[in-house]
Chain A
Amino acid sequence: MSVKRLHVMFDDDDILLDAVKEIVKNKIYIYEVYTPFPVHGLDKAMKLKPTNISIATFIYGCIGFTVAVLMMYYIMIVDWPQDIGGKPSFTLIENIPSFVPIIFEMTVFFAAHLMVITFYMRSKLWPFKKAENPEPSTTDDKFLVDMESGSNLSKTKTMLKKMGAVSIKEVKE
């Protein structure tokens, strides 16, 4: 019996979570789960790796910090030092107190925007991108598991029904 692809629909997040745990326990491969809101614990149940986006954000923040310091060092100290209100302008270290606000702002600017851009790129979100959820109701109140049928289709179906699936659809790949 050939392995088929199933679209299994649930109508409750708790039932979905238990079902996903059961499917994983039976060693059936889950392609994807579509939910209308973040179901807490779903990523762990699906054994998804934790996201590294916050580490990336820290690096982006460091880049912003460096860019800000280098920019102001070049502009205010190297290229055209000026005496402004008697503030020391001949070395970076003496002039840095008045650079703090902009260093902070640029750190946040780089961290926030590059993080969001990374998120959009990694999750493939941009204008004119076509949505990929197979059923439109998964943004409303339904939960869809896109999975393999396993070697024994009828056994899998009984298991899913027992777990509370609302509908099971076989899809052609």
Chain B
Amino acid sequence: MSSHYEAPIRKPLVLGDKSYADISNDIARPVETPPDRDWWIAFSISMIIFLWGLGCIAYTIGTGIGTWGLNKTVGWAWDITNFVWWVGIGHAGTLISAVLLLFRQKWRMGINRSAEAMTIFSVIQAGLFPVIHMGRPWLIYWFFPIPNQFGSLWVNFNSPLLWDVFAISTYLTVSLVFWWTGLLPDFAMIRDRAVKPFRKKIYSLLSFGWSGRAKDWQRFEEVSLVLAGLATPLVLSVHTIVSFDFATSVIPGWHTTIFPPYFVAGAIFSGFAMVQTLLIIMRKVSRLESYITLQHIEMMNIVIMITGSIVGCAYITELFIAWYSGVEYEQYAFLNRATGPYWWAYFLMMSCNVVSPQVMWIKKIRTNIIWSFIISIVVNIGMWFERFVIIVTSLHRDYLPSSWTMFSPTFVDIGIFLGTIGFFFVLFLLYARSFPVVAQAEIKTILKSSGEIYKKNRDK
């Protein structure tokens, strides 16, 4: 039994007196019971917002990008803001499942499944924006290096926008297979306990005939480890490449070498905030408090606090370097950002992203569920404004003062953004009712070392 030893100083990760069968029951319960009224209300609201967004997308495609608030000075605004925001949110899932796996952080197991789901759903939202912004989305195949009838006109491999296409599609597909591979044993668990033939059929299909042979598990663990090793540099590269979209340009305010690390930290920051928002609700609704414990919430708050501080350092470094560079265009871009007509957006960004997470130094606050929830929402808003500040304030006062202008979104801009939030929640709500939302096979491996009752009995 000594192989299950864990230091008593570590808090239990599975609360209560759970057996292996209890874990199966708890994880299968949301799938096997019909959704309640609250779920239907949340689902209907999300669906309506999503449909409204779809309408706005249809209007954009039918009429053209002119339906947006863009003008000749501000040619990129909400679309790319939303794109970067959603990609950033996606990063937490891979960070939790891959980086924390490499660091052997067992608290990952309670939250990795939902975090990965969030990653995939948010990268889908992100991917929508470049496609809509093309104006003619049926020409999407022009993104890819395929031989064609235009005198073999190729894509431009020197362009960071094309790097983005490769980065995002690799990221989405690799996250998807990572997620699905982890899901196989859990789908198999639901399949084998299903009573209704229809459910049995669906979950047999989803579980790919997983049988749990010793050799399968051996390969499964190796594959998980190697995928984590591949996904870790991948996740860092994806937001690095997203930041190249700006950093390789010549626009003052974008052309900075600090962008890659700063964007990656910001992505982890916003992603953890979104995981926090979703899981605080889900643990309550799906009665998973034994697996997603207060300790998990505290850990995520610490990550939010640290990455928030890194982001704060980056903001200040940016300002310093702008001054220190001696380039007056650069200096003006940052002065204008902080004190110009968009000072309020800058102020929101600073207070939401730098100041608000600092309250997490206080243990009472970071172990308080209501506070954690509020801060997570504040951070999500702040990170949206960060991208808005970087993009719009750098553009709206360009080299030619006669073309200085402001940006105001139309109802279509707002509708599409809200629509992606609706779409995201539609997907997440469906997931919460049909997928095993906690990696139960993995939780079972740590039950004897980190289960509350086992720890208590051992310490006696």
Is chain B found bound to chain A in the same assembly?
yes
Q: Give the B-binding residues of A (Cβ under 8 A).
A: 13-14, 32-43, 46, 48, 50-51, 53-54, 57, 71-72, 75-76, 79-80, 82, 84-85, 87, 89, 95, 98-99, 101-102, 104-106, 108-109, 111-113, 115-116, 119-120, 122-133, 136-141
Report the 9 A-B pairs with minimum CB-CB distance, sorted nearest first: A129-B209, A141-B20, A136-B192, A125-B208, A37-B444, A38-B217, A101-B163, A133-B211, A37-B441
Interface residues of B in 248-280 (CB under 8 A from A): none
Q: Contact at B213–A32, with CB atoms within 8 Å? A: yes
Q: Contact at A125–B20, with CB atoms within 8 Å? A: no
**Smallest distance from the beta carbon of A77 to chain B beta carbons, Å?**
10
1/0 per position for B213-230, CB-CB distance to A under 8 A? Answer: 111111111110011001
**Smallest distance from the beta carbon of A87 to chain B beta carbons, Å?**
5
- Further pairs besides A57-B230, A85-B158, A101-B163: 12, Cβ < 8 Å: A43-B215, A48-B214, A51-B219, A51-B222, A101-B166, A112-B177, A115-B226, A119-B219, A125-B216, A131-B209, A132-B209, A132-B213
Q: A98 with B158: in contact, given A36-B20, A71-B145, A132-B209 (CB under 8 Å)?
A: yes
Q: Give the A-binding residues of B (Cβ under 8 A).
A: 1, 3-4, 19-21, 24, 145, 152-160, 162-163, 166-167, 170, 173-174, 177-178, 181, 184-185, 188-189, 191-193, 204-205, 207-223, 226-227, 230-231, 233-234, 237, 241, 244, 441-442, 444-445, 448
For B23, give the chain A residue with the smallest CB separation: A141
Partner of A101, one of B181, B189, B207, B241: B241
Residues of A with C-beta under 8 A to B220: 38, 119, 123
Residues of B with C-beta under 8 A to A80: 152-154
Q: A105 with B192: in contact, given A38-B221, A125-B184 (CB under 8 Å)?
A: no
A/B interface sample: 8 pairs, CB < 8 A: A75-B154, A85-B158, A104-B233, A113-B177, A126-B208, A131-B188, A133-B192, A138-B192
Q: A48 with B157: in contact, given A111-B230, A131-B209 (CB under 8 Å)?
A: no
**Smallest distance from the beta carbon of A155 to chain B beta carbons, Å?**
25
Interchain CA distance A33-B174 in the complex, whole Å: 30
- Does more than half of chain B's interface fall in helix, strand or loop, or is it mixed? helix
Residues of A with C-beta under 8 A to B237: 101, 104-105, 108
Q: A109 with B209: in contact, given A35-B214, A123-B216 (CB under 8 Å)?
A: no
Interchain CA distance A79-B153 in the complex, whole Å: 9
Interchain CA distance A147-B443 in the complex, whole Å: 28
Q: Contact at A76–B157, with CB atoms within 8 Å? A: yes
Interchain CA distance A95-B159 in the complex, whole Å: 12
Q: Contact at A124–B209, with CB atoms within 8 Å? A: yes
Q: A102 with B162: in contact, given A37-B185, A125-B210 (CB under 8 Å)?
A: yes
Interchain CA distance A48-B216 in the complex, whole Å: 11
Q: Contact at A109–B174, with CB atoms within 8 Å? A: yes
